[in-house]
Amino acid sequence: MVRAPLLKRILPAALVGALLGGGPLNPQATPAPGPGGLLALPPPVAGTVPLDAALRERRTTRALAGPALSLAEASQLAWSAQGENRPGRRTVPSAHASYPLGLYLVTEGSPTLGAGTYRYQPGAHGFMSSGPKGVAALLGPIRAMQPWIVRAPAVFVVTGKPLKISSREPAPRMDYTFWEAGAASQALLLQAAALGLGAGVASGVDLASVGAAMGLGPEEKVLVLLPVGRLKGK
């Protein structure tokens, strides 16, 4: 068997990923969840797109085509928004290191990641299933939902629990939580641009109904939706 370091010296990185398993060139069946129901995600990979190029490409794209995200793409996007970049600490700053955000992926499903709703677990870098419904089934029935969101093959949902922030005043708690949602959203949008994916932001919808459809508790608020898909014609 050829060892990984040797492969890395003689083959392009993407091909090495495919040969070693888990890379975007290696579509497999959806892996089975492990102990505790955790669906382990492939580790985040080092990209090749400079930050300034991703900043130039970032824009709201509302014409989003399938197929929905692969496991590797979902992993990279979730890690960018809320993943750990060192033990116990994340890619996005957090007031008092309170980490009030939740990150969910609602997806129509792809060969490597089945349809449904998943909650991202930053510490374990994995997904826990939080329901069988994909985008159309979960968001379609919500009154006045914007059509481009329902047509997207995948939608990340950023939620917040302001009470996790240790502040005596209620107002800063909410402000800090929104602030973090903005930082997490921009990180995900830049990563989507770097991956050549289209993405957008939407909070002009009935966010309370989205939370109710997801079965969230009263203390967890939906803050923003981030639809993601392929750029049409690419």
Ligand X SMILES: Cc1cc2nc3c(=O)[nH]c(=O)nc-3n(C[C@H](O)[C@H](O)[C@H](O)COP(=O)(O)O)c2cc1C
Q: Please report where in the chains the tokens 């040797």 appear, as a residue.
A: 6
SS3 78: helix
Does residue number 203 form part of the binding site for ligand X (CB under 6 A)? Answer: yes
| Cβ nearer to ligand X, comparing 57 with 84 | 57
* Least CB distance to ligand X at residue 166 (A): 26
Rounded to whole angstroms, the Cα distance separating 3 from 14 reads 16
Sequence-separated (6 or more) residues with CB below 8 Å from residue 86: none
Residue 97 burial (CB < 10 Å; 0-12/13-18/19+)?
Answer: exposed
Does residue number 202 form part of the binding site for ligand X (CB under 6 A)? Answer: yes
Does residue number 129 form part of the binding site for ligand X (CB under 6 A)? Answer: no
| Cβ nearer to ligand X, comparing 78 with 205 | 205
Letters for 135-164 (x = contact with ligand X by CB under 6 A, - = none) are: -----------x------------------
Does residue number 166 form part of the binding site for ligand X (CB under 6 A)? Answer: no
The tokens describing 4, both together, are: 């990984």
Rounded to whole angstroms, the Cα distance separating 89 from 82 reads 9
Figure out which of the listed residues 60, 89, 166, 215 binds ligand X, where binding follows CB under 6 A.
Answer: 60
SS3 34: coil
Figure out which of the listed residues 204, 212, 219, 232 binds ligand X, where binding follows CB under 6 A.
Answer: 204
Q: Please choose, from the candidates 195, 190, 189, 193, the residue with its C-alpha nearest in 3D space to the C-alpha of residue 227.
A: 189
Figure out which of the listed residues 6, 13, 20, 59 binds ligand X, where binding follows CB under 6 A.
Answer: 59
Q: Please report where in the chains the tokens 């919500």 appear, as a residue.
A: 142
Q: From 90-98, 106-114, 125-133, 201-209, give the range in contact with ligand X by CB under 6 A.
A: 201-209
| Cα end-to-end distance, the chain, whole Å | 37
Contact predicate 73/195, CB 8 Å: yes
Rounded to whole angstroms, the Cα distance separating 183 from 178 reads 9
* Least CB distance to ligand X at residue 214 (A): 18
Q: From 16-24, 65-73, 160-168, 199-207, give the range in contact with ligand X by CB under 6 A.
A: 199-207
Q: From 15-23, 25-33, 35-43, 196-204, give the range in contact with ligand X by CB under 6 A.
A: 196-204
Which residue minimizes CB distance to ligand X? Answer: 204
Binding interface with ligand X (CB under 6 A): 59-60, 62, 146, 200-205
